[in-house]
Amino acid sequence: MTPELGTLSHGAGGVLLVTVEAERYRIEGEDLNNLLFYGRVIPITQNRSRTTPGGIPVSGIVIEGHAAMNASGKAVMLHTRMGSYIIPLISFQRVARGEAVSAPLFPLVPGVTG
What is the pTM for the complete model shown? 0.83
Residue extents of the structural domains in the chain:
6-67+83-106
Q: Reduce the secondary structure of 18-65 to three states and give it as a string.
A: EEECCEEEEECHHHHHHHHHHCCCEEEEEEEEEECCCCCEEEEEEEEE
Closest C-alpha to 84, from 51, 106, 61? 106
pLDDT per position in the chain (114 positions), as tens? Answer: 455 688 999 988 889 999 988 889 999 999 999 999 999 999 999 988 888 888 888 888 889 999 999 999 999 999 998 889 999 999 999 999 999 999 999 998 766 555
